[in-house]
Amino acid sequence: MRPLQRFIGRTLKFFAERDARGDDWDAHTRKLEEALTVMQNRCAGAKDTAWNREAVAHVTGIERWATARLRRALDGDAVVMDAYHPYRPDIEQGLDALLVAMADTRRDTLSLVHDYKLAGGTTRVTVPHNDLGDVTVGGWLSYLRAHGSRELLRVRKG
């Protein structure tokens, strides 16, 4: 990994872990739900352009990838250090379908949070991230909230 990528990874990890500190499963649930509303509002009224489809597909792909990795790790399965690209939805579906996929993906993440809350799991377990290294489950959830909100700032309305 190049020095700039290492720096960005360390910075993102620092903020994700800091933002997750002290949050329990209920706090993560609330914040993920609030972030979905923010993401949907950012996309409301956006035109169906390749630029906007790319932004939504990227956010959805990253969250699908992360949720799959977290679920495997929390189930006690071996973590596969795969890339996010196979998890990306096809941008040819159109923006409306991608926005549905984004919301469905967030609901899948919320389901994961619910499942592990009921199982008595902890948000302090670490799971490796390709660029950030070992990140707590809480840090991953914080990362997903920030990532979606940050990436969708580039959605163009006009």
Q: Report pLDDT digits (tens) over 9-53.
A: 899 999 999 999 999 999 999 999 999 999 999 999 999 999 999
119, 34 Cβ separation under 8 angstroms: no
**Helix (H) or strand (E) segment spanning residue 158:** none
Q: Give CA–CA dist 10/33, Å, rounded.
A: 26
**What's the pLDDT at 1?**
65
Q: How many helices (H) and strands (E) does the chain have?
A: 5, 2
Task: Compute the average pLDDT of residues 82-91.
Answer: 97
- Measure the CA–CA gap between 134 and 8, rounded to whole angstroms: 15
Q: Using DSSP, state whether 128 is helix, strand or coil.
A: strand
The pLDDT > 70 percentage for the chain reads 99
Say which residue the tokens 């360390």 belong to: 10
Q: Which residue has the tokens 């914080």?
A: 142
